[in-house]
Homo-oligomer: A and B are copies of this chain.
Amino acid sequence: MVRVLLWGMGEIGSRAARMLVERPQVEIVGAISHQVGVDVGAAVGAPEHGVTIVGRPDDVGNVEADVCLLATDQRVRDLAPQIEWLLIQGTSVIASGEEMIFPWASEPDLAGVIDAKARAVGRTVYGTGVNPGFAMDALVLCLTSCCASVRRIDVVRASDFSPYGPGPLRSLGVGLEPDEFRAGLAAGTVDGHIGFRESIGAISRALGWAIEEFREEIEPIVTTVERRTPHITVSPGRVAGCAHSAEALIGGEVVIRLSHPQQIEPAAEGAAVGDTVTIDGAPPITMQITPEIEGGQATAARMVNAIGSVLDGPPGLVAMDELALPFATPLGVPGTRVRAGAA
């Protein structure tokens, strides 16, 4: 029986909760979120579960959780105090915040502090998701295991943001005039994708590449036709999404290029969607996933499916290159490090 604490029940946290309430090997021992007083099962459209959501960590009472699924914030600096509190309770952490998939990229000092505190209490802290956390990094690394050498890696994740609501659309600048998009970039209200530094950090640490230069580029995708989703209608000449990319260089040569065009209704102008990985190596590998791996459900699944390997993981702050091969645990068996037995 694995005891899980849920902290943050927005889209990702709720989806993770939905997976967990059905798993007999999981005991949800607490839930912290805005829907204070609501039963955690009822909050996610499942039968009554017997655990009431509280609003603040101190209201959980005696925290006796093996692991917390932490889906509250995107940035390490916002997550660090929450993680430190969890470690004091003796709880390992699986965080969905983008920067947490490789915290050394954005906050090396805080990463060191978290690592030291986790080691001191013998617990594991890990960040995961689909992007960053899989499509542009873990999956790429897994493919390189077939290579005797790797010269360069190119990844394109072309996403359809039509299902997403106001929050994500705002961060892409969807609906703005191109001038407003640029002003939003300057003001920080438009920020595109968070995670390029993290994906590049994770890949380059694993491959042993010492990146010398990092570049990022963000441009509006201006539509020439009207595009409409359940959440927004964008008229011609306005922003339907953003083309965000990053490059990592060694010796003046690009060794990693990550490109992430994100827009609503890409089909309206014939733009393809999908995840494409091109490894210039020996042997070369070209991989395509069509359409792109859907982000919301898959991010929650990545968190839940990581429970087993985090509980078996080394103490400290760890990244994807330090944990077991990930896989689905659909039968509700979060700890899957079985050691023998035929199929």
Separation of A314 and B337 alpha carbons in the complex (Å) = 10
Q: Which of B19, B149, B324 contacts A328 (CB 8 A)?
A: B149
Nearest chain B CB to A203 CB, angstrom units: 8
Q: Which of B142, B285, B289, B336 contacts A286 (CB 8 A)?
A: B289
Given A104-B342, A325-B325, A343-B104, CB of A283 within 8 Å of CB of B293? yes
Is there an interface contact between A286 and B290, defined as CB atoms closer than 8 Å? yes
A149 partner residues in chain B, CB cutoff 8 A: 328, 330
Would you call A89 an interface residue if the criterion is a C-beta within 8 Å of the partner chain's C-beta atoms?
Answer: no
Would you call A138 an interface residue if the criterion is a C-beta within 8 Å of the partner chain's C-beta atoms?
Answer: yes
Would you call A208 an interface residue if the criterion is a C-beta within 8 Å of the partner chain's C-beta atoms?
Answer: yes
Is there an interface contact between B112 and A340, defined as CB atoms closer than 8 Å? yes
A339 partner residues in chain B, CB cutoff 8 A: 115, 314, 316, 318, 322
Is there an interface contact between B324 and A321, defined as CB atoms closer than 8 Å? yes
Given A146-B130, A289-B287, CB of A324 within 8 Å of CB of B327? no
A142 partner residues in chain B, CB cutoff 8 A: 138-139, 142, 325-327
Copies of the protein in its oligomer: 2
Nearest chain B CB to A343 CB, angstrom units: 4
Separation of A321 and B323 alpha carbons in the complex (Å) = 11
Is there an interface contact between B321 and A325, defined as CB atoms closer than 8 Å? yes
Is there an interface contact between B322 and A337, defined as CB atoms closer than 8 Å? yes
Would you call A297 an interface residue if the criterion is a C-beta within 8 Å of the partner chain's C-beta atoms?
Answer: yes
Nearest chain B CB to A143 CB, angstrom units: 8
Chain A positions 300-331 with a Cβ under 8 Å from a chain B Cβ: 300-302, 304-306, 314, 316-318, 320-331
Interface size on A, residues (CB 8 A): 80
Given A208-B329, A297-B283, A325-B142, CB of A111 within 8 Å of CB of B147? no
A342 partner residues in chain B, CB cutoff 8 A: 104-105, 108, 201
Given A287-B288, A328-B281, CB of A298 within 8 Å of CB of B343? no
Which 3 A-B residue pairs are closest in the complex by CB-CB distance?
A145-B326, A144-B328, A141-B327
Q: Could you list 15 examples of A-B contacts with CB < 8 Å?
A: A104-B341, A115-B340, A138-B325, A139-B143, A141-B326, A144-B328, A145-B328, A201-B343, A206-B327, A208-B336, A209-B331, A283-B293, A314-B339, A321-B325, A321-B327
- Seen from chain A, the residues whose Cβ lies within 8 Å of a Cβ on chain B are 15, 19, 102, 104-105, 108, 111-112, 115, 130, 134, 138-139, 141-150, 197, 200-202, 204-211, 248, 281-283, 285-290, 293-294, 297-298, 300-302, 304-306, 314, 316-318, 320-331, 333, 336-343
Additional 10 contacts, C-beta under 8 A, given A108-B342, A145-B301, A314-B339:
A102-B343, A104-B343, A141-B327, A144-B328, A148-B328, A149-B328, A150-B330, A210-B343, A321-B338, A325-B325
